[in-house]
Amino acid sequence: MADPVLTFTDRGIYCPAADVYIDPWRPVDRALITHGHADHARDGMGRYLATEAAAPVMRHRLGDIALETIRYGEQRRIGDALISYHPAGHVPGSAQIRVEVGGEVWVASGDYKIENDGLSEPFEPVRCHAFITECTFGLPVFRWDPQPLVAQQINDWWRANKAAGVTTILAAYALGKAQRLLSAIDADIGPILTHGAVENTNEVLRAQGLRLPDTIRVTPELNPKDYPGALVLATPSALGTQWARRFGVSSQGFASGWMALRGVRRRRAADRGFILSDHADWAGLNTAIAETGAERIFATHGYTSIFRRWLESQGYEAAIVETEYEGEAIDADEPEAST
């Protein structure tokens, strides 16, 4: 058997033919980055390669880095490997990375979802021989409702809170989820206030052409009484804190795929839970894998053991890859929330 196109090391996913790493978690000379979340795009690399759409957020988070960009679908020869990036649908600028060596094609998916959220570049199936997939929500219990239905649930909750004189506080990850919510909800219901981490990301994405409704940054000087009936878009770590209590009587919600599990909403100090994830659900994972045509599947970050057994029962050659990716953490706040 020929040498594998990609290998799995203590620094990250490695391509010997190109001498590059994909989303490494230890410092390396050259890193191919799938997207800007901090568990995939880390500080300390010598050189970075990412999509044009992911670059602004990466520069915002990581500062003055040696960052080269690539267009979706563009083929780049690096060493003896042919590299291309393809939409993952996870967050704006996210990509699956296709690596071809000697006619053998492997794809590292990073994080992905197959529902078109109207904001991120829609997921694109990539044919390959081997596919490295996340399985953050790799259990049959995880099945997402269509985004318009979830948006309607949030709008109805917000309107009811406004009518009752209660502030609506909705928690979501600062990169991707927050902007997806902003683009999906009815901004005519009332003013929208944003946590600083959310607004920082909004500014970066607006500057690169993404259209979002008007928002107002929450600062120490802001008086919540000046914005009756507001929706406050916060980071997960802000729920139940002094930052949230400044808005007086409020109803606090959380948007996450983990809301599909009983008890998680209570653990996150939320009154309402909305099942919305930027990761593929059970059906999405299976659909994406089938569309690759791959026979070898490597499962990472999620319900890996259960998902591997399921894949094997479906006739795939499956294995587990240990990584330091977090996916959508059930309790931890996202790393971007402190920026």
Cβ-proximal residues to 226 (8 Å cutoff; 6+ apart), any chain: none
- What pLDDT, on the 0 to 100 scale, is given for residue 336? 42
β-partners of residue 203 are none
Instruction: Please state the rounded mean pLDDT for residues 316-331.
Output: 85
For the chain, how far is it from start to end, CA to CA, in angstroms? 46
- Which pLDDT score is estimated for 327? 77
Q: Is the pLDDT of residue 331 over 60?
A: no
- Give the integer Cα–Cα distance in Å for 153 and 185: 9
Under CATH, to which class is 147-274 assigned?
Answer: alpha beta
Pairwise CA distance, residues 22 & 232, whole Å: 36
Q: Are strands 250-255 and 272-274 parallel, antiparallel or unpaired?
A: parallel
pLDDT in tens, 197-211: 999 999 999 999 999
What is the distance between the alpha carbons of residues 317 and 297, in angstroms, rounded to a whole number?
6
As a whole number of angstroms, the distance between CA 199 and CA 83 comes to 34
pLDDT band at 266 (very low <50, low <70, confident <90, very high): low
Secondary structure (DSSP) of 278-334: SS--HHHHHHHHHHHT-SEEEEEEESHHHHHHHHHHTT-EEEE-------S-SSSPP
For residues 110 and 97, is the Cβ–Cβ distance under 8 A?
yes
pLDDT tier, 335 (very low <50, low <70, confident <90, very high otherwise):
very low
**What number is the average pLDDT over the span 173-191?**
97
Q: Are 202 and 175 in contact (CB under 8 A)?
A: no
Is 214 a residue whose pLDDT tops 60? Answer: yes
The three-state secondary structure class of 335 is helix
Please report which confidence band the pLDDT of residue 338 belongs to, taking 50, 70 and 90 as the band edges.
Answer: very low
Q: Give the mean model confidence (pLDDT) for residues 101-105.
A: 98
Ranges of each domain in the chain: 7-141+279-338, 147-274
For 269-280, what is the mean pLDDT? 92
Per-residue pLDDT tens digits for 1-42: 568 999 999 999 999 999 999 999 999 999 999 999 999 999
Tokens 């990716």 belong to 325
Q: Which segments of 155-230 are extended strands (E)?
A: 167-171, 192-194, 216-217
CB count in 10 Å sphere of residue 86: 18
Q: Looking at residue 101, what is its pLDDT?
A: 98
* pLDDT above 70 coverage of the chain, percent: 95
Superfamily of structural domain 7-141+279-338: Ribonuclease Z/Hydroxyacylglutathione hydrolase-like (3.60.15.10)
Q: pLDDT tens-digit profile of 156-171?
A: 999 999 999 999 999 9
Q: Using one digit for the tens of pLDDT, what is the confidence trace for 289-322?
A: 999 999 999 999 999 999 999 999 999 999 999 9
pLDDT surpasses 50 at 258: yes
Buried b (16+ CB within 10 A) or exposed e, 181-217: bbbbbebebbebbbbbbbbbbbebbeeeebebeebee
